[in-house]
A and B are shown apart, each in its own frame.
Chain A
Amino acid sequence: MTLDRVVWSMLQEALAVYRDSPRATGWLRSHIERYTEPVRVAVAGRARIGKSTVVNALIGDEFVPLNSFVWYRGGTEARAHVFSGPGRPHEVAVGRRGSRNHVEIGQFDRADRVVVEWPARTLRDIVLIDTPSEATPEQVLGEADALLYLMRHVQDDDLKFLQAANDHPIARVANVHTVAVLARADEIGAGRIDALSSAKQIARRYRRDVAVQPLCQNVVSVAGLLAVAAKTLREDEFTALRTLASLGREELEDHLLSADRFVGEQFPLSMEPAVRQALLERFGIFGVRLITALIRQGFDTQVKLTGQLVQRSGLGELRDSIAIHFTERREVLKARSALLALDVLFRMEPRQNARKLMADLERVVASAHDFRELRLVAALQGGRTKLPADLQTEALRLIGAEGTTSLARLGFDYEADPHEQREALLDALVRWQAQAADVHAPNDQRRAAEVVVRTCEGLLPQLY
């Protein structure tokens, strides 16, 4: 049975065992519902780090930030509900304020959770949760399957948060759910024009940092304001920016020295201060600097400019990271959340007749092949286990580091028919069996090979 099915049946079984406890039933039902949903990704970080901005950039629409947990999920039309205290949620209107969408929660002074349904492509595969900055790690991770953690430079507080995220026996064996984001990449180096490439280098350094590496799967840098700008750049803004770019470079630079100067009275162009103020608020001083420079370099249509901005802001990389680490791993992430939930239940309400389930839980965590694969991926990538170079690449591919479909695992870049795939698979299986039985190889290599063999054997029935 696949992990997916095992966990599903465990949830159902638990529901039967705990049917007389309303609290446990409620808890289990919410988790059964959650199990079928897209992956929930929480966006967390310190205050004013740009959580809402990153969420906006991912959705591709601007929302006025609210000071509570805001869930964005896919839907056919724009709707919003407010959960406040016990009782049924209230539907509220989603209106527009200027260029931004606004959820009218005016009458609720304290909302536990606001759920916004929004038609956006990104939201088909994930549910985004924007968290308030004062939320504790438990609050953030209680509802989320995966975590985007925003920070500027890695500081002790950030590490503490991430450590808290991984501080549970089950979380530790399936440590798969964090991507760290160096947000506000545009503010690095005091907004110099090459700030973004600097930020990318810093992200690369953190990826290899001893303290950071075990806590997250990837580190990417994102310039939030630019990313939002790329997705929501309007015609009038583009015209204004192009007018700015037509100014001499030296002259413009003088007026872009500081935010105050840019909106000040003595501006060589006849452009309303309000317009300049709006540009500044939307793009930041760095954004204006970069966009005018880009226009001058020849990215002078809106389409070209948008493409450049998506790439430079790091939004593309962030999306890829989400796809590889979260969306494709949906099954494991969901299973992990469900197992954590079961563990909590068994601790809170231990029962005689739940003994079997508790044993099952332990067995699944220790032996579920998906988790073993993940641990091996982590060990290979982190260098704790080392295979010869070509074997390592193949092993990583087979155990699903590059994608979990059979095509991706077998390394086909075209639609190979089952027969062809089977041939390739059998070939790999035989080789890895030999590797697993190789008495000269060190112990950890043999064990790694055993995991790969098990993966191959698991793939085999799919291809008949």
Chain B
Amino acid sequence: MAPPWLDVLDETIGACVTHRRPDLEARLREKRAQQLDPKLRVLVVGESKQGKSQLVNALLNAPVCAVGDDITTTVPTFVQHADTPSAALVRNASARGSIFHTPTERIAVPIEQVTKQATAQSQHVVRAEIGIPRALLDSGLVLIDTPGVGDTRSAHTASTFATLMQADAVLLVSDATGELTAAEMTLLKKVMEACPNVTVVVTKIDLVPSWRNVVERNKALLARAGVPAKLIPVSSALRLRAAKTGDQRLNTESGFPELLACVQRDIVASADLLARRAVAVVASSALTQLVTPLREELTAHDSSRTVATISTLQEAQRRVDELRRRSARWQNVLNDEMADLISDVEYDLRDRTRKILREVDKTYDEADPAIGWDKFEQWLEDNLNEAATTNFAWLMERAEWVAAKVAKNFPVYREDLIPGSVLPDDLLEPVSKLEKPKIEPFSISQKLFTGLRGSYGGVLMFGLVTSLAGMPLINVISLGAGALFGGKSILDESDQRLKRRQAAAKAAAQRHVDDFFVKFSKDVRDSARHIQRSLRNHFSTLAEELQETLLESARSAKRAVQDDQTERERRLREGRKELDKLVTLYKRVQQLGGPAMELTA
């Protein structure tokens, strides 16, 4: 038999369909599919460097997630049960959009290299999956380790929130070195909206002498904010140590038995309750959104002040026109600015690379590439790198400026007008290595040969002259001249070789810089286009939303004006009936959540 929450959820979805809200419907359907899935996803979230990965490791007693001093986790890591340890990266060629429905490819990797590889190709990887044989995971539990929220590289944060939609329960990690910050409380509330089953885990209690005070203050904070979340203090370091030494007392001290019990009891065992709660939250938020416009329409009908409605209609139409007229402006600004930006950035890059090349030419007018080629290579790499970084930084700076300018030209002001971040993921890829030019060394035997060849002429020339004076062909003078000639030809030859080497080195450097330029300018153009696209999407979504809202109000105003009395009454009746239905459904939804949930209409 289908559980009761499924009926309610289906009915809510039906209501969404009747009221023509495909967006809500899609969200509910996603939730439905996820609730029917036997897996239980427990998401580990928190700000960066709070010990999320270490918590997962300590829960499982295995080093599955890499931990480090600097930012380590870059993609969500799903840890689930498997009979043999295995790991895979899930790549997505388009890498954007919902994780769920786009076709993906899986690449198996060695378990210890998951993080490294994920970081290396983080622009394609959407998640890492690790399977290990653990009793804890046996019941279908999936632990999801996420990148830190609020990190400056916002791609990480975005992927965390994408994962949040699929979570059944959440462990919010905050370390004991300080109480929950304002940012963490905001995060907590945001998490509660998507998934009400949150447990706050206070980590690193081994480090802090006064962790009990911190826990007390955190409890007070949660109570004041009215957040019904449990709070468990743990120490991953102690737990891992206890696992190594088999020290049972230490294990108890680490606080993990309690956390495990909580996971088992509250999350695994009460999967049904969890599902009911989760469904209650999503369904009631959807219903609230359905009820509000309906109620407004009813009140509009009730107060049959036609004059007012007509002026509302005119106002709405005026605003729609205004919006249409002005939306061309921000689009022009965006296009112009981005075109300028691309050409400027490319010019800047060309200028920088040209300067480097000029320097190379100057160097190899004098120096010998046979000596210190490695150093030169390093120098060139460094300079190119620097050029690339500066150029890229400049691009980013300009892009944000463009975003601000477009926002200024946007017809209305809103809080979220400027997108949080326009930075794409790091696009810089390595360029092929600089190939070493062919350096022909001038060996001893070659020198000898060249010397002999040169000296031959000298000996013969002077030998003939002196032979006129009656001396033998080979005498002191002719031998001396031969030595001189030989020496000169050796010098000439080595000079020529040096020139050849320098030319080869210059050509190699030129080729390399060209390669670099082509590759990097492509990258930069791609980034710029990516920025442009995301800005355009951002602003046009805003514009569409705005237009839709205006149109809707215009439409309803129009209806209110056009409807004659009987029609109006019929609508009124229908609306009331519909509203009653929704309210009944809402009540049922609320009952689902049980007495623990407090939902306001």
Residues of A within 8 A of B (CB): 46-49, 152-157, 159, 184, 187-191, 195, 198-199, 201-202, 205, 208-214, 257-261, 263, 277, 280-281, 284-286, 382-384, 386, 388, 442
- Cβ–Cβ contact B71 & A285, under 8 A: no
- Cβ–Cβ contact A384 & B394, under 8 A: yes
- Cβ–Cβ contact B237 & A257, under 8 A: yes
User: Contact partner of A210 among B71, B151, B386, B396, CB < 8 A?
Assistant: B396
- Cβ–Cβ contact B207 & A259, under 8 A: yes
List, in ascending order, chain A residues with CB within 8 A of B393's CB: 210, 213, 382
List, in ascending order, chain A residues with CB within 8 A of B527's CB: none
- Cβ–Cβ contact A187 & B397, under 8 A: no
A198 CA to B69 CA in the complex, in Å? Answer: 7
Q: Is B48 an interface residue (CB 8 A)?
A: yes
User: Contact partner of B206 among A49, A213, A214, A257, CB < 8 A?
Assistant: A257
List the A residue with the shortest CB-CB distance to B205: A258
- Cβ–Cβ contact B47 & A259, under 8 A: no
Interface string of B569-589 (1 = CB under 8 A from A): 000000000000000000000
Among A195, A257, A384, find the residue whose CB has the most chain B CB atoms closer than 10 A.
A257
A280 CA to B206 CA in the complex, in Å? Answer: 12
Q: Is B359 an interface residue (CB 8 A)?
A: yes
List, in ascending order, chain B residues with CB within 8 A of A257's CB: 206, 237-238, 241, 250
A214 CA to B389 CA in the complex, in Å? Answer: 13
List, in ascending order, chain B residues with CB within 8 A of A208's CB: 389
A1 to chain B, nearest CB (A): 34
A382 CA to B389 CA in the complex, in Å? Answer: 10
- Cβ–Cβ contact B207 & A285, under 8 A: yes
A384 CA to B386 CA in the complex, in Å? Answer: 11
- Cβ–Cβ contact A202 & B69, under 8 A: yes
Given A155-B151, A155-B152, A260-B253 in contact, is the A188-B207 Cβ separation under 8 Å? no
A263 CA to B208 CA in the complex, in Å? Answer: 12
- Cβ–Cβ contact B183 & A190, under 8 A: no
List, in ascending order, chain A residues with CB within 8 A of B181's CB: 46-47
Interface string of B339-357 (1 = CB under 8 A from A): 0000000000001100100
Given A190-B237, A210-B396 in contact, is the A157-B352 Cβ separation under 8 Å? no
List the B residue with the shortest CB-CB distance to A154: B152
- Cβ–Cβ contact A383 & B150, under 8 A: no
List, in ascending order, chain A residues with CB within 8 A of B152's CB: 154-156, 159, 209, 211-212
Interface string of B47-79 (1 = CB under 8 A from A): 111010010000000000000111100000000
List, in ascending order, chain A residues with CB within 8 A of B241's CB: 257
Q: Is B277 an interface residue (CB 8 A)?
A: no
List, in ascending order, chain A residues with CB within 8 A of B396's CB: 210
- Cβ–Cβ contact B178 & A382, under 8 A: no
List, in ascending order, chain A residues with CB within 8 A of B209's CB: 259, 263, 277, 280-281, 284-285
- Cβ–Cβ contact B207 & A210, under 8 A: no
Size category of the B interface is: 35 or more
- Cβ–Cβ contact B71 & A190, under 8 A: no
Among B49, B238, B241, find the residue whose CB has the most chain A CB atoms closer than 10 A.
B49
B404 to chain A, nearest CB (A): 11
Q: List 5 A-B contacts (CB under 8 A).
A: A46-B181, A47-B178, A187-B207, A259-B205, A384-B394
- Cβ–Cβ contact B208 & A157, under 8 A: no
Among A208, A260, A285, find the residue whose CB has the most chain B CB atoms closer than 10 A.
A260
List, in ascending order, chain B residues with CB within 8 A of A286's CB: 207
List the B residue with the shortest CB-CB distance to A276: B209
B186 to chain A, nearest CB (A): 10
- Cβ–Cβ contact B253 & A258, under 8 A: yes
Given A386-B352, A386-B355 in contact, is the A155-B177 Cβ separation under 8 Å? no
A202 CA to B151 CA in the complex, in Å? Answer: 14
A133 CA to B48 CA in the complex, in Å? Answer: 20
- Cβ–Cβ contact B204 & A157, under 8 A: no
Among B51, B207, B352, find the residue whose CB has the most chain A CB atoms closer than 10 A.
B207
Among B48, B70, B253, find the residue whose CB has the most chain A CB atoms closer than 10 A.
B70
A431 CA to B235 CA in the complex, in Å? Answer: 64
List the B residue with the shortest CB-CB distance to A192: B69
B67 to chain A, nearest CB (A): 8
Given A155-B47, A384-B394 in contact, is the A184-B253 Cβ separation under 8 Å? no
List the A residue with the shortest CB-CB distance to B250: A257
List, in ascending order, chain A residues with CB within 8 A of B205's CB: 258-260
A33 to chain B, nearest CB (A): 36
List the B residue with the shortest CB-CB distance to A389: B359
List, in ascending order, chain A residues with CB within 8 A of B394's CB: 384
Q: Is B330 an interface residue (CB 8 A)?
A: no
A280 CA to B390 CA in the complex, in Å? Answer: 45
List the B residue with the shortest CB-CB distance to A202: B70
A202 to chain B, nearest CB (A): 5
Among B154, B177, B183, B394, find the residue whose CB has the most chain A CB atoms closer than 10 A.
B177
- Cβ–Cβ contact B206 & A153, under 8 A: no
A286 CA to B241 CA in the complex, in Å? Answer: 17
- Cβ–Cβ contact B69 & A155, under 8 A: no
Q: Is B179 an interface residue (CB 8 A)?
A: yes
- Cβ–Cβ contact A48 & B237, under 8 A: no
- Cβ–Cβ contact B390 & A188, under 8 A: no
Interface string of B425-466 (1 = CB under 8 A from A): 000000000000000000000000000000000000000000
- Cβ–Cβ contact A191 & B69, under 8 A: no
- Cβ–Cβ contact B183 & A48, under 8 A: no
A46 CA to B394 CA in the complex, in Å? Answer: 29
Interface string of B12-54 (1 = CB under 8 A from A): 0000000000000000000000000000000000011101001
A156 CA to B148 CA in the complex, in Å? Answer: 12
- Cβ–Cβ contact B207 & A153, under 8 A: no
- Cβ–Cβ contact A153 & B390, under 8 A: no
Q: Is B392 an interface residue (CB 8 A)?
A: yes
- Cβ–Cβ contact A187 & B177, under 8 A: yes
List the A residue with the shortest CB-CB distance to B397: A214
Q: Which of B54-106 contact A (CB under 8 A)?
A: 54, 68-71
Q: Is B211 an interface residue (CB 8 A)?
A: yes
A193 to chain B, nearest CB (A): 12
List, in ascending order, chain B residues with CB within 8 A of A260's CB: 205-206, 253
List, in ascending order, chain B residues with CB within 8 A of A213's CB: 393
A156 CA to B204 CA in the complex, in Å? Answer: 23
Closest CB pairs A-B (n = 3): A258-B206, A383-B390, A198-B69
A202 CA to B152 CA in the complex, in Å? Answer: 14
User: Contact partner of B207 among A190, A198, A199, A212, CB < 8 A?
Assistant: A190
A260 CA to B212 CA in the complex, in Å? Answer: 10
A205 CA to B153 CA in the complex, in Å? Answer: 14
- Cβ–Cβ contact A153 & B183, under 8 A: no
A211 CA to B235 CA in the complex, in Å? Answer: 33
- Cβ–Cβ contact A48 & B178, under 8 A: yes
A285 CA to B179 CA in the complex, in Å? Answer: 18
List the A residue with the shortest CB-CB distance to B68: A189
List, in ascending order, chain B residues with CB within 8 A of A277's CB: 209
List, in ascending order, chain B residues with CB within 8 A of A263's CB: 209
Interface string of B401-429 (1 = CB under 8 A from A): 00000000000000000000000000000
List the B residue with the shortest CB-CB distance to A212: B152
A189 CA to B70 CA in the complex, in Å? Answer: 8
**Could you list 17 further interchain pairs (A-B, Cβ under 8 angstroms) beyond the known A49-B178, A190-B207, A284-B209?**
A152-B49, A153-B148, A155-B183, A187-B177, A187-B204, A190-B54, A210-B396, A258-B253, A259-B205, A260-B206, A260-B253, A261-B253, A285-B207, A285-B209, A286-B207, A383-B389, A384-B390
A115 to chain B, nearest CB (A): 28
A157 CA to B205 CA in the complex, in Å? Answer: 25
- Cβ–Cβ contact A184 & B177, under 8 A: yes
List, in ascending order, chain A residues with CB within 8 A of B392's CB: 210
- Cβ–Cβ contact B389 & A153, under 8 A: no
Q: Which of B378-397 contact A (CB under 8 A)?
A: 386, 389-390, 392-394, 396-397
Among A189, A199, A213, A259, find the residue whose CB has the most chain B CB atoms closer than 10 A.
A259
Interface string of B148-192 (1 = CB under 8 A from A): 101110100000000000000000000001110101000000000
List, in ascending order, chain A residues with CB within 8 A of B70's CB: 198, 201-202, 205
A209 CA to B178 CA in the complex, in Å? Answer: 26
A146 CA to B261 CA in the complex, in Å? Answer: 51
